[in-house]
Structure 1
Amino acid sequence: MRRSVRTLAVGAAGLLAVGLSACGGGPGNDGDTIVVGAVYDTSGVQRVVGKSMLDALNLAVDEINADGGVLGKQLTVRFYDSGGDIASYKQYAEQLALRDEPAVAFAGINGASRAAIQPIFSRAGIPYIYSELNEGGICEKNTFTTGVVPSQSLAALVPRMLNEPGKTVYIAGADYNFGHISGQWGRKFAEEAGARVVGERYIPLESSDFGSVVDEIQRLQPDLVLSFLVGANHQSFYRSFAAAGLNKTTPIASSTFGTDGETEALSAAEQENIYVAYPYIQSIESPENTEFIEAWENKYGELKSPLPDEVNSVWSGLHLWAEAVEKAGELDQGAVIEALESGIEFTGPGGRMQLDPASHNVIQNVSIGRTNGPDGYFEVIETRENVAPSFEQEVCDLISNPDLNEQFTPTS
């Protein structure tokens, strides 16, 4: 079993490979190298989190290569920047599948990009690791999800914020499947806690005008705002919210805040009174996290803002895949999936992560944090260990029914 974390020296084997140059002794995974495919947004509205995810992938490649590689071969990354464009996501996923022939694909940020590329990798027989926090319910044999889901994050966060019945809630989300399904989860957990949803708005990713949303919140005076906003444009909500003085009276509970550069872009006042729930918060105290941060800074320089949760999901996700390949002893899709379904686990900066064989989601820790001061770091106020993806376990059994290919929602 590989060590969970080790401080690394950056070498040539870990450098990002861009384009279509030959890999080892031929395309794909011949010769002395194994291709890891990646498609993320390193430009566009989700560029901040996309860059962090790519950096995490390259850091994990460095470590694995320094530790002898996979099956005695070095890993190399073939990366494409989609710019957040769905057509480009499809184009680059096809290019990876047909020309680069990676052994595994790490790709997609928002749900629309995931839905566009998931069938491409499945048809090509390339195991797909989706490492972004998401709206949950993803169920497909070739897809493994290492990001946190609402049955883990919101199930912990919402009841804690609504600690007595009779409270009111306002929901603000991004206007695509992630925002809408997250809103369903937010409503479910709020109502189970005895609260009432008094307002609900969904805003396009390209919009940065939140005047009417803030006006409505001022008028309705909810006890809690649930935020499922996404991307650089939606940072304007937090600015407008604070400018109206609402940050002094109304807490925000969010499943996305801090993942798209908010902690760097917003002032301390604009980040006040915000609560999150993630498997990884940089202020977690553990030897694995300390070593991970040291390795990150050795490769990329001193951190200017806190790392988002996704770096743990990507980094640990590649290690899980590498462990599975070693267990399988080969790169054959069926053998690797069987190994991933064996209950394989890995301990990284966010703690223990174990793949649930039936649902292809992960059992992992979830920490509740709140914004703390001008540096944008979250204070951890509670950690729940080994939290199962309970909804996914209820609805998705890919061992008994390997042909399932569906996204389940709390209202489906």
Structure 2
Amino acid sequence: MNLTRRDLLAGAAALATTTSLVPWVPAHAAEMIKLGSILDTSGIFDAYGKPMQKATELAVAEINAAGGLNGEKIELVSYDTQSDMALYTQYGQQLARQDKVDVVHGGILSASREAIRPTLRKSKTLYFYNVQYEGGVCDRNIFITGVTPAQQAAVLIPNVVKDWGKKVYILAADYNYGQITAKWVTKYAQEAGGEVVSTDFFPLDVADFGSTIAKIQSAAPDLIVSALVGGAHLSFYRQWAAAGLNKKIPMASTTIGVGNEHKVLTPEEGNGIRVAYNYSHELASPTNQAFLKKWAEKFGNTDDIHELAVSTYQGVWLWAEAVKKAGTQDRMPVIEALEADLSIEGPGGKVTIDPKTHHATLDVHLMEFQDQKMKVLEDFSQRPPLDTQAVCDLQANPDDNQQYEIKI
């Protein structure tokens, strides 16, 4: 597919359309399997989106090099939304209605997921959202491979309350993820015998935390829990360290490190922050070591691999295994294959789809930043998405289609 045709497919007004090609020429393009990718590979969220796109390209290249799926190669059709929600809507419709892809992997913020999920459901285009989020989405057309609060915060918060103290101060991004995660942090802190002394929310463009730092000092908590998101919020960690408070009040986070933020901070700024995720470069498993080698061979180094990139890679492979198991890329047989206890062994460990919720059951690793690395402190095997299981049962209600606000 040449550049002129790409431009025509995206429309004359398309702002940023790219089609990633594998090195082969299809004999019958109409018979090819099409995988759509829609991500922020430029704009303010590109630190998340660029490695996710690379992960998609790596998985597709591996699958095609092994002969494709059921004898067919995969064509990857990719769009860059430039971190613009309006372009998510535009390109979601493009992938479903004009490109007619068999599956879409994409979205970063919950807002971007909800911008395209209704279109993909209506067009009966299978959708994978490969990002950690607040939980509660219940829709048979979507599969979610990132960690949810019951998999992550349930591990992290009791640990830090036990180790650091009972008085917790929460900082969170002021949108769905931050607001709901703050409730989960409060729940798990209280269950561990702690209390939340204050919760502050911040718009994504806030970068000056001077008054907040003064407020925290007055509250004198035993620890901070951060659910801040994005480049502007990274300023908090720098300002916190510059005030010398990182040596006085310890910090845990449900977000930092997801986009390799710990590599942007200096060791002095990041050391000691505790997190819990599905993935770390430091995992010694043969699967992860093989993944790191393949990534380095394709892209030159492994410095940009992060949690969301690995979730994306695992999501593409889950879909591929389901296509092979179903014997077709058609939507309903693939959905049924994914619901039939399908699992893969990924860089972050075993990944299994929970048929009730279409969320992943995952290994979670409790970790601490040390010299810009994530040192694994403890492993928690096969954590189910208990939060979403409390509100979603697609086996009993396959036509359900909403994001529930989970009662906390």
Same fold (TM over 0.5): yes
Distance of 1:261 and 1:210 partners within structure 2: 21
Change over 3 Å in CA distance of 1:254–1:401 after alignment to 2:
same
Distance of 1:352 and 1:50 partners within structure 2: 24
Amino acid at match of 2:311: S
Distance of 1:168 and 1:95 partners within structure 2: 49
Change over 3 Å in CA distance of 1:58–1:170 after alignment to 2:
same
Amino acid at match of 2:125: I
Could you tell me how far 1:106 is from its partner in structure 2?
Answer: 0.6
Kindly report which structure 2 residues correspond to 1:80-229, keeping only aligned pairs within 5 A, or say none. 80-163=79-162, 167-229=166-228
Q: Which moved more, 1:213-222 or 1:349-358?
A: 213-222
Q: Tell me the residue number matched to 2:316.
A: 318
From 353, 359, 362, the equivalent of 1:361 is 359
Q: Does 1:407 align with 2:406?
A: no
Could you give the per-residue CA deviations for residues 170-224 of structure 1, whole angstroms, max 9, x where no partner exists?
1111111111111111111111111111111111112211112212111112112
Could you tell me how far 1:148 is from its partner in structure 2?
Answer: 0.6
Q: Tell me the residue number matched to 2:307.
A: 309
Q: Tell me the residue number matched to 1:328.
A: 326
Could you tell me how far 1:87 is from its partner in structure 2?
Answer: 0.6
Distance of 2:67 and 2:45 partners within structure 1: 34
Distance of 2:384 and 2:26 partners within structure 1: 40
Distance of 2:374 and 2:342 partners within structure 1: 30
Q: Tell me the residue number matched to 1:17.
A: 19
Could you give the per-residue CA deviations for residues 111-144 of structure 1, whole angstroms, max 9, x where no partner exists?
1111111111111111110001111111111010
Distance of 2:117 and 2:248 partners within structure 1: 42
Q: Name the SS of the counterpart of 1:199 in structure 2.
A: strand
From 326, 339, 343, the equivalent of 2:337 is 339
Amino acid at match of 1:133: Q
- What are the ranges of 5 or more consecutive residues in structure 1 without an aligned counterpart? 1-15
Amino acid at match of 1:217: I
Q: Tell me the residue number matched to 1:6.
A: none
Q: Tell me the residue number matched to 2:381.
A: 385
Q: Does 1:38 align with 2:37?
A: yes
> Does structure 2 conserve the Cα–Cα contact (< 8 Å) formed by 1:105 and 1:127?
yes
> Does structure 2 conserve the Cα–Cα contact (< 8 Å) formed by 1:49 and 1:260?
yes
Kindly report which structure 2 residues correspond to 1:44-59, keeping only aligned pairs within 5 A, or say none. 44-59=43-58
Q: How many residue pairs get matched? A: 388
Distance of 1:410 and 1:337 partners within structure 2: 25
Q: Tell me the residue number matched to 1:351.
A: 349
Kindly report which structure 2 residues correspond to 1:242-321, keeping only aligned pairs within 5 A, or say none. 242-304=241-303, 307-321=305-319
Distance of 1:359 and 1:304 partners within structure 2: 33
Distance of 1:369 and 1:53 partners within structure 2: 22
Change over 3 Å in CA distance of 1:312–1:260 after alignment to 2:
closer
Q: Name the SS of the counterpart of 2:30 in structure 1.
A: coil
Could you tell me how far 1:24 is from its partner in structure 2?
Answer: 4.8
Q: Tell me the residue number matched to 1:4.
A: none
Change over 3 Å in CA distance of 1:71–1:56 after alignment to 2:
same
Distance of 2:250 and 2:404 partners within structure 1: 30
> Does structure 2 conserve the Cα–Cα contact (< 8 Å) formed by 1:232 and 1:261?
no
> Does structure 1 conserve the Cα–Cα contact (< 8 Å) formed by 2:275 and 2:366?
yes
Could you give the per-residue CA deviations for residues 3-37 of structure 1, whole angstroms, max 9, x where no partner exists?
xxxxxxxxxxxxx7259xxx9577xx723x21110
Could you tell me how far 1:164 is from its partner in structure 2?
Answer: 7.0
Q: Tell me the residue number matched to 2:13.
A: none
Could you tell me how far 1:294 is from its partner in structure 2?
Answer: 0.3
Distance of 1:130 and 1:44 partners within structure 2: 20
Change over 3 Å in CA distance of 1:320–1:329 after alignment to 2:
same
> Does structure 1 conserve the Cα–Cα contact (< 8 Å) formed by 2:106 and 2:129?
yes
Amino acid at match of 1:269: E
Distance of 1:107 and 1:48 partners within structure 2: 15
Amino acid at match of 2:392: C
Q: Which moved more, 1:347-356 or 1:331-340?
A: 331-340
Could you give the per-residue CA deviations for residues 321-375 of structure 1, whole angstroms, max 9, x where no partner exists?
11111111122211111111111000011111000111101111000110011xx
Distance of 1:331 and 1:199 partners within structure 2: 49
Q: Share of identical aligned residues, percent?
A: 41
> Does structure 2 conserve the Cα–Cα contact (< 8 Å) formed by 1:35 and 1:76?
yes
Distance of 1:69 and 1:164 partners within structure 2: 49
Change over 3 Å in CA distance of 1:337–1:304 after alignment to 2:
closer
Please report the RMSD computed on the Cα atoms of aligned residues, expressed in angstroms.
1.8
* Structure 1 ranges of 4+ moved more than 6 A: none
Amino acid at match of 1:378: M
Change over 3 Å in CA distance of 1:400–1:109 after alignment to 2:
same
Could you tell me how far 1:274 is from its partner in structure 2?
Answer: 0.5
Distance of 1:24 and 1:304 partners within structure 2: 33
Could you tell me how far 1:153 is from its partner in structure 2?
Answer: 0.5
Q: Name the SS of the counterpart of 1:398 in structure 2.
A: coil
> Does structure 1 conserve the Cα–Cα contact (< 8 Å) formed by 2:165 and 2:223?
no
Change over 3 Å in CA distance of 1:222–1:206 after alignment to 2:
same
